[in-house]
Amino acid sequence: MNKFGWISIIFTVFLGVIILMANSGSQFIWWIARFPMADKVGHFLLFGSLAFLLNMALNCRRYRLFDKEVLFGSMIVICVVALEEISQIFIATRTFDITDLMYDGMGIFLGGYLAVIALMIQKKYFLKLT
């Protein structure tokens, strides 16, 4: 496993703790809500970062879906995010919000895109060294 794999695992645990705290109604993270759009920015940055890290860990592995190539790591994050957001329908302290899914999706797309660029730069740099 490369360094991005370990960082992805640690970051996933971090996100899990945040989600558990939010599900329990913890006031610890609600101070962030004072800032305008903090929830949406959080969704964008957190899940975009996870997509970046996971795609880097998987070396931007792709597969075909409906005649399109998609990043495997991004698809994993999309599935997890969709399940987590839908689960909020059944949690009294949470509310399902389609806008959250949109910001998650934008973050995941950008995170995947940046991972592809970072991998291209990394390969170009290492080719020059050899």
**pLDDT per position as a tens digit, 100-111:** 999 999 999 999
CA–CA dist 33, 121 (Å, integer): 37
Supply the mean pLDDT for the chain: 88
Judged against a pLDDT cut of 90, whether residue 10 lies above it is answered with: yes
Task: Kindly report the pTM of this predicted structure.
Answer: 0.87
- List Cβ<8 Å contacts ≥24 apart for 13-20: 15/46, 15/47, 15/50, 18/46, 19/84
Judged against a pLDDT cut of 60, whether residue 55 lies above it is answered with: yes
Confidence of residue 127 (pLDDT cuts 50, 70, 90): low
β-pair type (68-71, 62-65): antiparallel
Judged against a pLDDT cut of 70, whether residue 128 lies above it is answered with: no
* Domain parsing of the chain, residue ranges: 3-129
> What is the CA 70 to chain-centroid distance, rounded?
15
CA–CA dist 50, 112 (Å, integer): 9
Lookup: tokens for 114: 């940046």
